Amino acid sequence: MEIIAQHGQTLLILGCVFAFFMAWGIGANDVANAMGTSVGSRALTLKQAILIAIVFEFAGAYLAGGEVTSTIRKGILDPTLIQDQPDLLVFGMMASLLAAGTWLLIASMQGWPVSTTHSIVGALVGFAAVGISVDAVDWSKVGSIVASWVVSPVMAGTISFALFISVKKLVLDTDRPFKYAKRYVPVYMFLVGLLIALVTILKGLKNTGFALDFGFESQLLNALPLSIGVGILVALIGRWMLSGLREGLPEHPTNRFTNVEGIFAVLMVFTASAMAFAHGSNDVANAVGPLAAIVSVISSGGEVASKSAMPSWILILGGLGIVIGLATYGVRVMGTIGRKITELTPSRGFAAELGAAATVVLASTWGLPISTTHTLVGAVLGVGLARGVSALNFGVIGRILLSWLITLPAGAGFSILFFFALKGLFV
pLDDT number for residue 208: 57
pLDDT number for residue 365: 67
Instruction: Provide the residue-wise pLDDT of the chain in tens; the chain has 427 residues.
Output: 677 778 888 999 999 999 999 999 998 888 777 788 888 888 888 888 888 888 888 887 777 665 434 544 556 777 677 777 788 889 999 999 999 999 999 999 988 888 888 898 899 999 888 888 888 888 887 887 777 778 889 999 999 999 999 999 998 888 888 888 888 988 988 988 888 788 777 765 665 556 666 667 777 788 888 889 999 998 898 888 777 766 655 555 445 567 788 888 888 887 788 778 767 776 777 888 888 888 888 887 767 665 666 677 888 898 889 889 988 888 888 878 877 888 888 888 889 888 888 887 777 667 666 777 888 889 999 999 988 888 888 898 999 889 988 998 999 999 999 999 998 888 7
* Listed residue (68, 126, 73, 8) closest to 314, CA to CA: 68
pLDDT number for residue 204: 58
pLDDT number for residue 372: 78
pLDDT number for residue 238: 81
Radius of gyration of the CA atoms of the chain, in A: 22
Beta pairing partners, 70: 307
216: region left, alpha or beta (phi > 0 left; psi from -120 to 50 alpha): beta
Residue 201 has a CB neighbour count (10 Å cut-off) of 24
Is the entire prediction scored with pTM above 0.85? no
Q: What CA–CA distance (Å, rounded) separates 75 from 137?
A: 9
Taking the CA atoms of 277, 393, 163 and 161 in sequence, report the sign of the dihedral they define. Answer: negative
> Residue 364 is part of which domain span?
2-426
Domain count, the chain: 1
Q: What is 111-146 written as a DSSP string? A: T----HHHHHHHHHHHHIIIII-GGGB-HHHHHHHH
Q: What CA–CA distance (Å, rounded) separates 326 from 53?
A: 8
Beta pairing partners, 137: 77
First-to-last CA distance in the chain? 11
Quick one: angle between helices 32-40 and 372-385, nearest 10?
Answer: 20
